[in-house]
Amino acid sequence: MDTALAILDTEGLEAVTMRRVATALDTGPASLYAHVGNKGELHELMLERVLGGVRMPEVDPGRWREQLKELCGRQVGALIAHPGLAKIAMEVVAPASQDAFVHAEVLLSLLRAAGVSDERAAIGFEVLTLFCTAFAVEASAVRHGEVSEEELQERAKQMGRYVAALPPDRFPSLLAMGHRLGGGEDRFERALDLIIDGLVA
């Protein structure tokens, strides 16, 4: 996994194949297949290795909101630390490792500490996990040069001009609120607050 992650960091996700990892380990792909079934499993094990390093808080009911936001932030930070890892997380349907179970246990415990019903906590777990992963995909693309800040700014200007030219009778809400969409460096935290407030309410 260390070798695979090193290749990921220096050469990108497409380079992380069974053959490439075997070459870096000075062995043949057949040797790897004795431990890892295929490239998909290799990618999933890389994800588990990284998320397993995310520090889990000792649940404190008096600090549940702060701890929940910290945990979500750490998860996003881990996913964007390596190029393409967030995309792997988006593709893995249901990770079944001890680290994944620990993460789920802590997140669910924090929601229960907030007084959220078990039914809502289960939904909240899915929503928060998906939101953090999707946010990480976007943030990772910028951090690792898949999309530049300049391209994003130019795209935003183009969209602004396009929206401004829309007919007001058909798009009144978009014209009134378009300038608020997608912006702000603190939008991750604001979105987390919105999700958490909704769960608690």
Query: What CATH number did the domain enclosing 189 receive?
Result: 1.10.357.10
Per the structure, the complete domain to which residue 95 belongs is given by: 59-200
Structural domain contains residue 93? yes
What is the pLDDT, as a whole number, of residue 183? Answer: 64
184 pLDDT more than 70: no
Structural domain contains residue 180? yes
Residues 42/116, Cβ–Cβ less than 8 Å: no
Structural domain contains residue 186? yes
Mean pLDDT throughout 124-146? 91
Structural domain contains residue 185? yes
Q: From residue 178, give the alpha-carbon distance in Å to each of 63, 148, 173, 182.
A: 35, 22, 8, 9
Structural domain contains residue 15? no
- Count up the domains in the chain and report the number: 1
Q: pTM score, two decimals?
A: 0.85
Structural domain contains residue 178? yes
